[in-house]
Amino acid sequence: MKRSILWGGLALLLLVLLASAVVTAVRLLASQENPAANIVEEQITDEGAALTFANRVIPAAELPEREADAWGIFLRRQDNAIIIGTGPYHENIDMNDPERPIVVDHEGPEIEIVISRDTLIYRDDTITARITGPVPQVIQQMDSLEEVGDLTGISAWGSRRGDRLVADVLVYSVER
């Protein structure tokens, strides 16, 4: 009798462990299959000391459910197009002279993003500074790109035409 209770208890324990392992595996796979989930990492360096804050931004419902076709930092504007620098970028600030401009370097190629009258334009108002954990993305539809300038992050979804991306949706994030 004691052995059957023992075996029954072990079988139940094994079943619970197996079920929890399956649930954990499904959650991990689901989080990896969401390419639109952005990880935002902010690093502040002051004379060798670095603080890093990382969080996951949950994309707004208005945006396509796939990774952006192009993303990077604003470099310049040409007529109805903007040029972005892709890849990791670095902002260099001279803390001893706050009047000097911030210099931005990027490691990837430049991409031309064409804006048409049909392009949906959003400003990203999400606040992620010094927050850890998931943060819902907050966006606001805009009529123009007037605010876009130096230190503006750009994400765009659209169709490639040669070396250009004709944007259907564009999101910009102004450095605050």
Q: Which residue has the higher pLDDT, 19 or 103?
A: 103
Residue 123 has a pLDDT of 95
- Identify the pLDDT of residue 135: 87
pLDDT at residue number 71: 92
What is the predicted pLDDT for the residue at 28? 42
Distance CA 100, CA 147 (A): 21
Where is pLDDT greater, at 159 or 4?
159
> What are the structural domain ranges in the chain?
38-174
pLDDT in tens, 71-81: 999 999 998 99
Q: Per-residue confidence at 121, pLDDT binned at 50, 70, 90?
A: very high
Residue-wise pLDDT tens digits, 38-68: 544 445 555 555 555 566 889 999 999 999 9
pLDDT of residue 162: 77
Average pLDDT, the chain: 76
Number of CB atoms found within 10 A of residue 101's CB = 11
